[in-house]
Amino acid sequence: MAFEMVAVVGLGTMGAGIAEVFARAGLRVIGVEADADALATGRGHVERSTQRAVDRGRLTDGERASILGRITLTTSREDLREADLVVEAIPEVLDYKLSLFADLDRICKPETVLATNTSSLPVTAIAAATGRQGRVLGMHFFNPAPVMGLVEVVSTVLTDPALVPEISELATRLGKTPVAVGDRAGFVVNRLLLPYLNQAAVLMEQGLAGRDDIDAAMRLGVGLPMGPFELLDLIGLDTAYEVMGVLFDETRDRRHAPAPLLRELVSARLLGRKSGRGFYGDEPRPHEPVKSSVITFEVAGEEAGELTERLRTAGFKPSTDPDVILRQADRPVIEHAVRLQDPARMVGVRIVGDRVAELAATVLTSGEAARAARDLMKVIGLTPVACRDRAGFVTDALLYPYLNDAVRMYDAGYASIGDIDAAMRLGCGYPAGPFETLETIGLAVVRDGLRALYAEYREPAYAPAPLLDQLVTAGVRAFPRP
């Protein structure tokens, strides 16, 4: 089927972005909103986004005018009769979607394909509101839609199998990579991404580390494009909360229960970028002066030599009566600290990548020692991430369960290794997919890290996936790929 005229219903952040993507690919687009105000807001999204592209030299004024010229706006659903494809991007409320799809089914010509951009609601239930279940599927884009390279093409058991390659081909025409999946809550990306974001909120609430520290750890240490709280603000806290609720309803996994902090912020209408404030507002960042090299230190544990050398080069003095004892630790730092005469001086340190130093203060660490450790790390060019003395510190506690979830997803037969890797790279801008990351870190290292996390938190989902465990036992270093 030739898709020449498409309609997008709902012109919020996602809908407006999707309309722009279609128009950029040369298709005629009808944008639909409930009233004139919402229509004007939607038009504003597309105008700003394309203007930004012109300002950056990515589009000419003429191309921008053609893109805008291909988009017609209306408040009447009745105008959609001749559309070849309708993509729904209205709020994540099942009742709204059911009533919209029933309407679209009545209005549109029989061959029109009806697609939902839902992040998590069951496509099967949405399709059941129509008399054309074979021509209903999910077309799930990622925020910002003009930038992210993935479209999840979600089919139900009733979707006409011939439609999946047609819609996948359309996604390719839009410059996106399609990944075809079945109808399971969260599909590939949200099923792996949102529990990690939710976990970041839970761990912050439990006092593991602060917002800026967690974001810095994941952005600078792990190399993700955004920290979890920056990304939650981009996605919208209300959307994240809804998606977690749907995941929890399907899995009954305690980790999928929306973080209480999310609920609290959503109730306060602090929704992230769309409302101007979420985890981040417009508060100025505190400026902390770095103390000078009068601090003395001792380094204990593995790789002590390199850290000692970097500190010495920066002008600090190793001392037998140090201000701070830095312990490279892979087990609770307190176990080392209690062996000292003065445990208040010990801080656990772990360097992540080449830019971040996680600093774990124990229940006995003094404020002065914690501050000294932070200043030392800054002076040697590392971003300090302060956290409590818990297994996995910040980065492993957030990264490893996500990797484990990816192994379980593959093992359950939901998606292939290649598709999962591609989905996370293109949908979230990750530098590597979870299987690539697992192989880079080392399967055994991740397995052992998960065991440590499980021993600490006793969270069933942290127990290493049986497949991971077995590959490590078998001495295999890479996942089997066709």
Chain residues binding ligand CAA by CB under 6 A are 49, 52, 56, 58, 119, 142-144, 146-148, 190, 193, 225-226, 231, 235, 239, 427-429
Cβ at position 43, least distance to ligand CAA in Å: 15
Cβ at position 150, least distance to ligand CAA in Å: 9
Of all residues in the shown chain, the one whose CB is closest to ligand CAA is 429
Burial of 429 (0-12, 13-18, 19+ CB in 10 A): middle
What does the DSSP assignment read for 32-63? Answer: E-SSHHHHHHHHHHHHHHHHHHHHTTSS-HHH
Cβ at position 239, least distance to ligand CAA in Å: 5
Instruction: Please give the distance of CA 46 from its chain centroid, rounded to a whole number.
Output: 24
Strand 324-328 relative to strand 317-318, pairing: unpaired
87 and 117 Cβ atoms separated by less than 8 Å: yes
Q: Give the position of tokens 């970041």.
A: 200
77 and 103 Cβ atoms separated by less than 8 Å: yes
Nearer to ligand CAA, 355 or 378 (CB): 355
What does the DSSP assignment read for 281-319? Answer: -SPPPPP-PPP-TT-EEEEEETTHHHHHHHHHHTT-EE-
Catalytic residues: 119, 140, 152, 190
Cβ at position 462, least distance to ligand CAA in Å: 23
Cβ at position 123, least distance to ligand CAA in Å: 13
Rounded CA-CA distance 330/394 in Å is 13
Structure tokens at 109: 């010509």
Q: Give the position of tokens 């290649």.
A: 418
Nearer to ligand CAA, 176 or 371 (CB): 176
42 and 31 Cβ atoms separated by less than 8 Å: yes
Structure tokens at 205: 């609430």
Name every residue whose Cβ is closer than 8 Å to that of residue 396 and which is 6 or more positions away in sequence: 449, 452, 453
Cβ at position 442, least distance to ligand CAA in Å: 26
Nearer to ligand CAA, 60 or 75 (CB): 60
Nearer to ligand CAA, 147 or 455 (CB): 147
Nearer to ligand CAA, 49 or 112 (CB): 49
Rounded CA-CA distance 361/345 in Å is 9
What does the DSSP 8-state code read for residue 227? -
Nearer to ligand CAA, 237 or 443 (CB): 237
